Copies of this chain bind each other. A is one copy, B any other.
Amino acid sequence: MARPNLQVALDHSDLPSAIGDVVKVGAEVDIIEVGTILCLQVGAVALQSMRALFPNKVVIADTKCADAGGTVAANCQQAGADWMTVICCATLPTMVAAAKEVKEVQVELYGDWTFAQAQSWLAAGITQVIYHQSRDALLAGESWGEKDLAKVKRLIEMGFKVSVTGGLTVETLQLFAGLKVFTFIAGRGITNAADPAMAARAFKEEIQRIWE
């Protein structure tokens, strides 16, 4: 089974602290994500900075784009992003317009999306989804459960490359054993650690152990 990628999400509210953290962990991870908070706070310069720092890594713009997909995606691509996220309740024309401008589009699954919708994304050539435990839902006490794992499994079986995120720890990776997860995304679980590089390595080693 292909080994899942490790992605660091930079959910900072300013560029200097994001840069300070990413230079510590960039070499350890496969994918670097400019998180929504950072996109909205800093703009395209955040993407440009990650591209300059890591010319050979995949850089993602987590715009959670809901409309004007073509323009947002063209701007992200110009700033150096490889992939870009769109929100699941965006219309199909928005997703398709975005997909024309960046290498790949990832659909962020929030709220009441359906597998019928997911099938329509596949039919339109969009093969990546991100299964999310909402940060605010986590704060409200929710967590990963059988219900989530069953949905992740079904999406993988449909043919999606499925990234998972939301409150992941090294310990929770074991929950996904046996599933062909595409990427695990961790944010503060890495960047807020006392030693971010060591935290990233701990994620990576546990991924290597489980998906050997």
Which residues in A have some Cβ–Cβ distance to B below 8 Å?
11, 13, 36-37, 39-46, 61, 63-72, 75-76, 87-91, 93-94, 97, 108, 110-114, 117, 132, 134-137, 139-140
CB nearest neighbor in B for A46:
B43
User: Shortest distance in angstroms between A91's beta carbon and chain B's nearest beta carbon?
Assistant: 5
Evaluate whether A72 and B136 lie within 8 angstroms (CB atoms) in the complex, with A110-B90, A111-B91 already known.
no
Copies of chain A in the complex: 2
Evaluate whether A108 and B37 lie within 8 angstroms (CB atoms) in the complex, with A43-B42, A89-B87, A89-B113 already known.
no
Query: With the chains together, A114 CA to B42 CA distance in Å?
Result: 34
**Of B39, B90, B136, the contact of A111 (CB 8 Å cutoff):** B90
Chain B residues with Cβ under 8 A from A97's Cβ? 136, 139
User: Shortest distance in angstroms between A121's beta carbon and chain B's nearest beta carbon?
Assistant: 12
Q: Can you give 13 A-B contacts (C-beta < 8 A)?
A: A13-B71, A40-B72, A41-B44, A43-B43, A43-B46, A68-B135, A69-B136, A88-B111, A89-B89, A89-B113, A90-B111, A94-B135, A97-B136
User: Shortest distance in angstroms between A180's beta carbon and chain B's nearest beta carbon?
Assistant: 25
User: Shortest distance in angstroms between A135's beta carbon and chain B's nearest beta carbon?
Assistant: 5
Chain B residues with Cβ under 8 A from A72's Cβ? 36-37, 40
Query: With the chains together, A36 CA to B91 CA distance in Å?
Result: 16
Q: Is the CB of A68 within 8 A of B11?
A: yes
Q: Is the CB of B136 within 8 A of A94?
A: yes
